[in-house]
Chains A and B, each alone.
Chain A
């Protein structure tokens, strides 16, 4: 069974540019989550999809971040325009039940 895949694994962009991160969850997992880890800090919740609907987006930092999950399959997280403080590792996770999250390896985003 394929795990959660994220693309790209690394992205280096300049301040003011746009970046789109992609997550493909495990097939059949209705729940999809985005988390972020800023250097030296804990992993923090960004948002949660159930199928194509945003269930909870209380962790989204500001309106420069836009997450979508069209069709309830893969999800994208767009940052536009990127700022220096957006640098970090962006993790996607999916789950079938609410007990166990399956994480992707993350996208390391560096904003210069």
Chain B
């Protein structure tokens, strides 16, 4: 079956570092994506991993281990505007454009 698990909610303090984990079991794998979604707005692309390792982009980094079916999104120097839902998504086998999403992790950043 297809399954993506991520925590439902997390809380962190402004200026801190938070790690959002995602584990997946899918029938195929052709990349893992992280999207950010503020309430009532469109999900926006944050990062993409297709090979094992860490991808860094400013305050955000994403890690992938394909053998473990595991990824995390690391947010550094948290700001209040980082309060949002973070969606983990896996793209299926080559030849398909179908994305499988997790339910999302709602992050609250406190002052």
Chain A residues within 8 Å of B, Cβ to Cβ: 3-4, 31, 33, 35, 40-45, 48, 55-56, 58-59, 91, 95, 98-106
Contact = CB atoms under 8 A, between A and B. Distances in A.
Contacts of B42: 3-4, 91, 102-106
Interface string B81-109: 00000010101000011111111100000
B97 A43 contact: no
Contacts, number: 56
Given A91-B43, A99-B31, A105-B41, A42 B98 contact: no
Nearest to A31: B97
Contact of A41 (B48, B89, B97, B103): B103
Given A58-B98, A59-B98, A43 B45 contact: no
A48 B99 CA distance: 10
B4 interface: yes
B1 interface: no
B98 A48 contact: yes
A73 B102 CA distance: 29
10 contacts: A43-B43, A48-B98, A55-B97, A95-B97, A98-B91, A98-B97, A101-B33, A102-B45, A103-B43, A104-B42
B44 interface: yes
